[in-house]
Amino acid sequence: MPGGLVGLIRRRLPGATRQILIDGALAVPLCALDLAISWSANRRGDLAFWVVPGYAIAGYLILAIRRRYPIAVFAVVVIHSASAGVFFAGFHPTIGVWWALYTVAYCKELRVALLCLPAVAVPMGLNIIDAVDRQPPDRRIDALIGVTVGLTLFNAIAFGVGRWVRWAGRQRRLAAEHAAADAVAEERARIARDLHDIVAHAITMMLLQAGGAARWVRPDPARAEQALGHVDALGQQAIVDLRRMLDLMRVGRAGEPPEPSALPGLNRLAELVNHMRSDDLPVELACTGQVRALPPGTEVCAYRILQEALTNATRYAERGTVVRVAVDWQPSRIVLSVHNRQIPQGRAHRRLGTGHGILNMQERAHSVGGRVTANPAPGGVFVVRAVLPVAAETAVDVRS
């Protein structure tokens, strides 16, 4: 029943009111426990019955507002406990003092908490004096040592637990803040990679097509017109891709997964290759192994890596040489590679790159547990190779 009542309070009431009611509800059994301990130790029968509804409960109910006024409540509880030791023989409320001490240690800075700590010596001293006085003369030394050690230990536990809970809460808040900052940084990096892939690819291809149009405008106007048409198509496609990215960002903020059809994947690889292919730079595509479904994240990663590698090839590959794209489906991974012959050193060419392409590919691969290498190979060839893991449960033939 008490657990159900506490659960109801937590669900129905605002935070501050809820805490006051919960602490007030906890104060009642703690008061009863304190009185039971005092009565069991009071063998002379000095404790008056009217203490229960009056003085004792009043001193404990003040603990209901301990979170809001920790110092004031601590002072009231200490005075209440010390006064009880003076006016009511045999009654020494101590559990409330420990609870208030814990609250001060938890809510306040260490310097303030340490200043409050000596105040517990007054009620505890009266408790020790009364406990020793109740013992026979031959047992008073043992009682003095035992009660002093016990009360000191419980005071230290209350204070130490309060400080530890405060430290643990601060560590949780810092961890949450760091996690939030990391999530924001990761999201910014993802957006930056997407923008780079979309915009850099479109601008590179538009510049190449525009350069071709300028070169053919007089000798072959039809070919120049075709190149300008490609420029227009590239611009339109870039706008579509940017809108799709913004739509995915809105869906992500709403907490819903994006539709798989809205994400670029290897199903668009043939379209990408045809788009990149030109008379000056033929592109060949070869796929080996059993084609399988991939998780959306890996699917997008594979597509963007190939897109960036092909974009780099259009910048740095020697004109008239073949760019070879290979997709090798292996049992536990997919291997992507793009080979192109580099422009010989010393031959002038425009560098249209941003300098972030390879880094973006490596970051994308790392995000799904893969890796990317981009290195020259013998024979003047430059090779971009990506290895992405494929979970066994996703190994389903998409052709079936």
- In percent, how much of the chain has pLDDT > 70? 78
Query: What's the mean pLDDT in 23-35?
Result: 80
Q: In whole angstroms, what is the distance from residue 158 CA to residue 160 CA?
A: 6
Q: In whole angstroms, what is the distance from residue 31 CA to residue 122 CA?
A: 20
Do the beta carbons of residue 99 and residue 63 sit within 8 Å?
yes
Q: In whole angstroms, what is the distance from residue 31 CA to residue 53 CA?
A: 10
Contacts of 81 (CB under 8 A, 6+ apart): 59, 92, 93, 94, 96, 97, 123
Q: In whole angstroms, what is the distance from residue 221 CA to residue 381 CA?
A: 34
pLDDT of 394: 43
Query: What's the mean pLDDT in 333-358?
Result: 71
From residue 168, how far is each of 19, 66, 101, 164 by CA, in Å?
20, 20, 18, 6
pLDDT at 151 over 60: yes
pLDDT of 14: 60
pLDDT at 233 over 90: no
Find the range with the poorest average confidence among 123-127, 232-236, 348-352.
348-352
pLDDT at 393 over 50: no
Q: Which two tokens stand for residue 255?
A: 């907490």
pTM of the entire predicted model:
0.54
Does 216 or 62 have the greater pLDDT score? Answer: 62
Closest CA to 341 of 321, 366, 369: 321
Query: What's the mean pLDDT in 103-126?
Result: 90
- Angle formed at CA 262 by CA 259 and CA 264, multiple of 5 degrees: 125
pLDDT of 50: 61
SS3 assignment, position 51: helix
Q: How far is CA 306 from the centre of its chain?
A: 30
Query: What's the mean pLDDT in 163-168?
Result: 94
- The domain defined by 266-400 carries CATH number 3.30.230.10: no
Does 118 or 191 have the greater pLDDT score? Answer: 118
For the chain, the distance separating the N- and C-terminal CA atoms, rounded to the nearest angstrom, is: 58
| Every domain of the chain and the residues it spans | 2-134, 266-400
Residue with tokens 């979970």: 391
pLDDT of 329: 93
Model confidence at 132, pLDDT cuts 50, 70, 90, reads confident
